[in-house]
Amino acid sequence: MNTTALIYLLTAAAVFGIGVHGLLQARQVLRQLLAINLMGGAIFLLLITLGGGAVGPPDPVPQAMVLTGIVIAVSATAFALALLLRLQDATGTSELDPNDGA
Amino acid sequence: MVHEALIGLVFLPLLGACLAVLPGRFGTRLAIVVGLASLPFLLLPVTLSVLREGAWFYTLGGWSAPLGIRLYVDPLALLMLWMVALIGGLAAAHAWHDFRPGTAAGERFWPLWLLLTAAMNGLFLSADLFNLYVCLELVTLAAIPLIAMAGSATAVRAAMRYLLLALLASLAYLLGVALLYNSSGTLDLYLLPDALATAPAPVTAFALALIGTGLLLKGAVFPLHVWLPQAHASAPGPVSAVLSALVVKTAIYLLYRVGLWSLPAGLLADGAMLLFAVLGAGALIYGGVLALLQDRLKLVIAYSTVAQLGYLLLALPLASLAAWQALTYQMLSHGLAKAAMFLAAANILHAIGSDRLSDLERLDQRTPLSLFALAVAGVSIMGLPPSGGFLAKWLLLEAAWRGGQWGLLSVLILGSLLAAAYVFRVLAAALRREDPSEAEDAEGISAIGRRQATYAMLLALLALVTGFAAAPILELMATGIPPTWGAA
Amino acid sequence: MIEIAIDLIIAMGVVGLALQTILGASVFRAILMFIVFGLLMAMAWARLHAPDLALAEAAIGAGITGALLLVTWRRLQAMDGRTPRVGIAARAPWLSIASGIFAAALIVALGWVSLSLPAEPAAAGELAWQRLPEVGVSNPVTGVLLAFRAYDTLMEMGVLLAAWLGARAVASELRPGALPGPAHAEVPLVGALLSLVVPISLLVAVYLLQAGGSAPGGAFQGGAVLAAGGVLLCLSGRLEAAERSSITERIGLVLGLAVFSCIGLVMLFMGEPMLAMPGVWAIYLVETALLLSIALTLVLLFAAAPGLRRAP
Amino acid sequence: MNFGWQALPVYVVLTSVVTGILIFALGEARQRMRTALNLAGALVKLILILVMLLAIQTGASFEFRMPVLPGLDLLLHADRLTMLFATLSALLWLVTTVYAIGYLEQSPNRARFFGFFSLCVAATMGVASAGNLFTFFIFYELLTLATWPLVVHRGTPEAFAAGRLYLTYTLIGGVLVLVGLIWLTALAGSGDFIVGGTLAPIAAGNEAALRGIFVLLMLGFGVKAALLPLHSWLPRAMVAPAPVSALLHAVAVVKAGAFGLVRLIQDVFGFELALALGLTDLLTWLAAATVIYGSVLALRQSDLKRRLAFSTVSQVSYIALGVATGSALATIGGLVHLVHQGMTKITLFFCAGNYAEGLGVHAVEELDGLGQRMPVTSVCFTLGALGMIGVPPLAGFITKWHLGAGAITAGAPWVVAVLAASTLLNAAYFLPLVHRLWFRPLPATMAARELGISGRRLQALVGPTMIVAMLALFAGLLAGTPGSPLFWAQRMIGDPA
């Protein structure tokens, strides 16, 4: 295993875990969305590193997947933010009650 | 011709969505005809071809797998596609009156509905793991705004919760897919069994755990169901119907595909199957009890979905032909009955302005047809004859008995008694005696209300008919048994 | 050696910024950290020989997403206090500890599993290189996106459209006047700057589009750059929200999806497989349509409005 | 599948289904149309049944078979046992419908009532003509579903409590049947109902399993047949309107349970096998205990309808008693009681309804001297009561005679003692009523009380009451002539169809 690959794989794992933690413990929806975006970034990093990016031009299939993934992530984030505005508008808060509806 | 029909199943709703975005009433109406009404006619030739020649692939762009993306149609996919066409179609007919094309609400509603239809059809046909991710996201992003469209604060909150958890689920799935791609070299579901045979086992196991968790979360399988009840209960009626009947099933469908098609035989340990069964049993009991405790009609129905999804996992350890037929039949009959119930509940909500059980006594004469639809669909949910739900449960019970699975047997029976309890509780609330003097405005129900009640009734009748006309469907399903169960 | 050092710095920066994003004292700070995280990720992509992604990450991941987050944060600030707050139960303290332990376990497992993988192109990737000449472009990523896995790209346009439709649907439910108007400040020289930036973004977009065939770039990156120009116009008040989408905007929104599908369907009825591209010209045609749709959708999403019009 | 002449049993079931659906669709307001539909449906069904009866006499057979699940068919056929039950149900449905139209005049939710009433009859017809246990189960459960709205029809908390109890019992009973059925199917597949049963060939080595299956099915059917520990839903269900009580107790529900027991012994296991496995004794003892217990409890009821209900508990078990005793005579007695009890008990319930509607009389004590106020009803009631006691030559006597004689030939003389005790108890709880009606003075308050209903409505209630009383009377008087219920039961045993 090449050192660059090692570094980025561990980075990806760490960022993914950080994202999960952030999603689970954050109170504001906005922060949870940031955490979700971090997780997405980590997965993309993993895909490209595993695709051989550390040694040369990486596998083009994961690259295309990541590009698609980035656009999906921005779409989902944009919609989530619109919904968040509506949430604030309807409930006066941009947080979700963890005990509600469970 | 059959290839064009298959492609049309995805692309006509997609183009319909484009049409519906364009301004004016005409575009939307055309879009509904092109994208929704056409589906049964497209499905007919595809069904005939599967009946005649068995399952087949279609290679998109002529780029063969593993490089390109393939579509795959087999009996299971056909079943799901028919459900989208019929249940989705009737729910759309119901929605037509609340979201009329040409109105502001209609303009917002129909493009999303069409995209949702396209996404579900695409998901049921796709043979590619990453393409399935895109389809899953499209399903989510098209469905959730439809929930929020109900407008209430509860609906918005439920939509937000659903969105966050759905995004988390998609990411877990995507991470699993990323690992599988790198360990096996392919994204094609049906090339995976061979490719995975040589892949390192811990990677495969971890990837499958991620994919499974993601799908269980999206499929609202107990104990990951927390987002479902409020989301399904607070959405507009036809949306609730489609969410419960079809959208949650997309994740379960995918779970079957990954678990039963794309793995080398024997890879998925008995322990995993047992886990599914335990989750299913938990769902059945927990959902049933919670449904019994709700005091709003739509919440009862939503918790009932949590419970009924349990059946779809419960029988996995049986791995027999009968179990397969039972699972698929449950998929179908639950879809029909649950959609009927949600549409009926929507009509009731319309008629009396509340869906509290204590208010249902005001109802009775005003919407007899909807109430009847609710009752008939309830029969199927309880698994009592004559209904599709009964046949599905009979098959499950028989399979459990033959397999000597006494625990499974007792859970099944307990689950159906619970279902009977919550369904009859609703019906009892609706039959409570009203003051006869109030009964006089019985004629006040509008023509639209009557038509909407008819759609609910049609679905309920279909649930009833599936209690008799099972033989051809089950025979078709038998030809589509998962390869890992295929020894039977 | 120096390369390893650079990798290490980027990696530590990425992890540190991710942590800051999660733990940042204020939401505003967290967003800023996330934007910087995106920029650093772009550098990581460059280091990993993925310049297409570096461009996309910078333009979309950091740029557009960051702008969306910031503008939403500001809108939330402006809305806060207008409606009575709903009481929210506090999260149990053990939850934080439990989630931390869970996340740590996940990191270990994921690290361990991914290190056991070969980290080299997979079978499908090799095939993509081999069959690239049949497509007629030399950038393999463009080849995958618009030929081998064109279906993904097409569905992804559906996702983008759904996001806009969804945003429009929920935004239309907002109580009248709930959204604060664009509070832009007329800073000296902004006008002059804009008159430079916007044409440049257009130019860069066109360049990225045509370069996509052989060099890094393509519809997504170009679309994002063009969208960035549009966002600036919104921020500076040159464009403002309209009540309804104009017909041009509607056509623009579905252009990518429609052109892509129609070419596919035409080929299908000419006896070719669905989504087979009749030639390189078709790829560029589709890419142009995609670019326009992406740019327009992103700007409209940023404006949180059904449509835009020139400010008087 | 054959939808022609052969499928007549299907159409018999469908006439009621279609009637029910049309009634629901018509809505509450179209009263005349509903009445016409009700009567037309009942008449058409009766005619179809008569046609089938004649055809079977000339040797025709009817069968409709549709595969539903692999190895399981929906099978409707018409054997003599079917015809016995179906004719009774069709006949009594027609009369009860006429009665109910009068009874429910001006009360709310009539569309709902008659809709479910029709579905109830459809389910009963299905139970009668089911050709295998699977089909039987389908209609058996449908019957539960269709009767529940009738039990809770009044919508009072009391009615809902009774409905809840009814559901709890019947649904759990349904589960027992279901489990037994699954077990049986897994063991032996799904056999058609054939006199003598289909299980004998596989009995060797499977004795324990077969005993288990029998007990499950017996308990499951026993719930509806109100066998001893499972009977307590029945008296509580009395809160339903009188026509429903009549239908539940005389025709549909309890008879479906009893009919299931008959099918179980005769056509699934076969009497020989059941005897060999020692299963008939179990049922005989249970039935005998129920006969005595029901009578004792009936004695203690002061509410007229409840007294009739406990009487039903007791009387329905005669059927099981006869079939489980097993000799030809006893079986004939059991089968014929299916009809006799139905006709007699429905008469009594109609009368109870008349008293309640006419003068608001519910308690036994209030019957004093009513023979003067409501003479026709009181005559009918007297006929019914005497029939139940078994005074010769009324219907009950025919039954008891066959049962007793049969028990002796079967070597179970103790059954005769049970019958004698039951008869004494019957007399003890019915004769005082008759005495009150005719020989006690009419209290002044009652003499002054206005009739609660118009004369026309009273006519509408008394008419059907007279008809069923006549039926019950002639079933006993003319028992020796061809075409009587006894004649059919004898043919069934002598010449198994």
Q: Is D93 left (phi over 0), alpha (psi -120 to 50) or beta?
A: alpha
Per-residue pLDDT tens over the stretch C50-78: 998 999 999 888 889 999 999 999 888 88
Q: Where are the domains of chain A?
A: 3-91
D191 near D265, Cβ under 8 Å?
no
CB atoms C162 and B68 under 8 Å: no
pLDDT of residue B364: 57
Buried b / exposed e over C129-165, threshold 16 CB at 10 Å, is eebbeebebebbbbbbbbbbbbbbbbbbbbbbbbbbb
Per-residue pLDDT tens over the stretch B128-142: 999 999 999 999 999
With vertex at residue B127, the alpha carbon angle to CA B126 and CA B128, rounded to the nearest 5 degrees, is: 95
Which of B397, B427, B471 lies at the smallest CB-CB distance from D67?
Answer: B471
Query: Chain B partners of A29 at a C-beta cutoff of 8 Å?
Result: 160, 164
Kindly report the backbone phi and psi dihedral angles of residue C120, in degrees, each rounded to the nearest multiple of 5, phi listed first: -145, 160
Give CA–CA dist D496/B441, Å, rounded: 57
Q: Is A26 left (phi over 0), alpha (psi -120 to 50) or beta?
A: beta
Give CA–CA dist B242/D484, Å, rounded: 58
pLDDT by residue for chain B (488 residues), tens only, comes to: 899 999 999 999 999 999 999 887 888 999 999 999 999 999 999 999 999 999 999 999 989 888 999 999 999 999 999 999 999 999 999 999 999 988 889 999 999 999 999 999 999 999 999 999 999 999 999 999 999 999 899 999 999 999 999 999 999 999 999 999 999 989 999 999 888 888 888 899 999 999 999 999 999 999 999 999 999 999 999 999 999 999 999 999 999 999 999 888 777 777 888 899 999 999 999 999 999 999 999 999 999 999 999 999 998 888 889 899 999 999 999 999 999 999 999 998 988 888 888 888 776 566 778 888 999 999 999 999 889 999 999 999 999 998 888 999 999 999 999 999 999 999 998 887 655 544 444 445 577 788 888 999 999 999 999 988 888 999 999 999 998 887 54
**Nearest residue in B to C126, CA atom:** B67
Interface size, chain B vs chain C, as Cβ–Cβ contacts under 8 Å: 170
Q: Which of D230, D261, D249, D259 is nearest to D309 (CA)?
A: D249
Among B139, B154, B182, B213, pick the best mutation site for testing chain A contact (most A Cβ within 10 A).
B182
Of chain A residues 75-94, which have a CB less than 8 A from chain B?
Answer: 75-76, 79-80, 83-84, 86-87, 90-91
Paired strand residues for D192:
D132
For the four alpha carbons of D435, D440, D446 and D450, in that order, the dihedral sign comes to positive
CB atoms B119 and C131 under 8 Å: no
Which of B386, B398, B433 lies at the smallest CB-CB distance from D186?
Answer: B398
Q: Is the pTM of this model over 0.80?
A: yes
Q: Does C168 touch chain B (CB under 8 A)?
A: yes
> In one letter, which amino acid is D487?
F
Alpha carbon of residue A16 to chain centroid: 8
Give CA–CA dist B26/B14, Å, rounded: 17
Kindly report the backbone phi and psi dihedral angles of residue B220, in degrees, each rounded to the nearest multiple of 5, phi listed first: 55, 40
Buried b / exposed e over C46-79, threshold 16 CB at 10 Å, is bbbbbbbbbbbbbbbbbbbbbbbbebbbebbeeb
Give CA–CA dist B199/B182, Å, rounded: 9
Which of A24, A57, A99 lies at the smallest CB-CB distance from C99?
Answer: A24
Q: How far is A2 from chain C (nearest CA, A)?
A: 9
- End-to-end alpha carbon distance in chain A: 45
> In one letter, which amino acid is B20?
A
Q: Does A43 touch chain C (CB under 8 A)?
A: no
CB atoms B148 and A61 under 8 Å: no
Query: Chain B partners of C114 at a C-beta cutoff of 8 Å?
Result: 179
Is pLDDT of C214 > 90? no
Per-residue pLDDT tens over the stretch C177-209: 666 655 555 566 667 777 788 888 888 888 888
A and B: touch, per 3+ CB pairs < 8 A?
yes
**Nearest residue in C to A14, CA atom:** C107
> In one letter, which amino acid is A37?
N
Give CA–CA dist C143/C122, Å, rounded: 16
3-state helix, strand, coil split of chain C in percent (to 5) is 70, 5, 25
Q: Does A66 touch chain B (CB under 8 A)?
A: no
Q: Which two tokens stand for residue D63?
A: 């069968």
Which of C113, C152, C158 lies at the smallest CB-CB distance from B206?
Answer: C113
Buried b / exposed e over B124-156, threshold 16 CB at 10 Å, is bbbbbbbbbbbbbbbbbbbbbbbbbbbeebbbb
pLDDT of residue A102: 41
Q: Does A44 touch chain C (CB under 8 A)?
A: yes
CB atoms C15 and A15 under 8 Å: yes
Q: Which of B131, B107, B130 is nearest to B121 (CA)?
A: B131
Total number of residues shown for chain A: 102
Which of B145, B158, B168 lies at the smallest CB-CB distance from A101?
Answer: B158
Among B329, B357, B365, pick the best mutation site for testing chain D contact (most D Cβ within 10 A).
B365
Alpha carbon of residue D243 to chain centroid: 13
Is pLDDT of C176 > 80? no
Q: Does D152 touch chain B (CB under 8 A)?
A: yes
3-state helix, strand, coil split of chain D in percent (to 5) is 75, 5, 20
Q: Where are the domains of chain D?
A: 278-497
pLDDT of residue B437: 45
Which of C7, C22, C68 lies at the smallest CB-CB distance from A18?
Answer: C22
Give CA–CA dist A88/C83, Å, rounded: 8
Q: Which two tokens stand for residue B158?
A: 């439920």
Q: Does C189 touch chain A (CB under 8 A)?
A: no
Number of C-alpha atoms within 13 angstroms, CB side, residue D298?
A: 31
Paired strand residues for B126:
B71
pLDDT by residue for chain D (497 residues), tens only, comes to: 677 788 889 999 999 999 988 888 887 778 888 889 999 999 999 999 999 988 888 888 888 998 888 888 899 998 888 888 999 899 998 999 989 888 887 777 888 888 899 999 999 999 999 999 999 999 999 999 999 999 888 888 888 999 999 999 999 999 999 999 999 998 888 778 887 788 888 888 888 999 999 999 999 999 999 888 888 888 888 888 888 888 776 678 889 999 999 999 988 998 889 888 988 889 999 999 999 999 999 999 989 999 999 999 999 999 999 989 888 889 899 999 989 999 999 999 999 999 988 888 889 888 888 888 888 999 999 999 999 998 888 888 999 999 999 999 888 889 999 999 999 999 999 999 999 999 988 888 888 888 777 778 888 888 999 999 999 998 888 888 887 888 888 877 765 43
DSSP code of C189?
T
D16 near D41, Cβ under 8 Å?
yes
pLDDT of residue D200: 83
pLDDT of residue A101: 47
Q: Does A32 touch chain C (CB under 8 A)?
A: no
Enumerate residues 6+ apart whose C-beta is below 8 A from B182.
Answer: A47, A50, A51, C117, C118, C119, C122
Which of A3, A13, A70 lies at the smallest CB-CB distance from C114?
Answer: A13
CA distances from D389 to D44, D299, D385, D423 (A): 35, 13, 6, 6
Paired strand residues for B72:
B57
Paired strand residues for B71:
B58, B126
Enumerate residues 6+ apart whose C-beta is below 8 A from B295.
Answer: B356, B357, B358
Which of C152, C158, C268 lies at the smallest CB-CB distance from B119?
Answer: C158
**Nearest residue in B to C271, CA atom:** B4
Q: Which two tokens stand for residue A88?
A: 């604030």
D197 near D168, Cβ under 8 Å?
no
CB atoms B163 and A80 under 8 Å: yes
B300 near B351, Cβ under 8 Å?
no
Lowest average pLDDT, out of C29-43, C243-257, D27-41, goes to D27-41
Give the DSSP H or E segment for B343.
helix B321-352
For the four alpha carbons of D264, D268, D271 and D275, in that order, the dihedral sign comes to negative
CB atoms B474 and D145 under 8 Å: no
- Could you name the CATH architecture of A3-91? Orthogonal Bundle (1.10)
Enumerate residues 6+ apart whose C-beta is below 8 A from B212.
Answer: B176, B255, B258, B259, B272
**Nearest residue in C to A56, CA atom:** C49
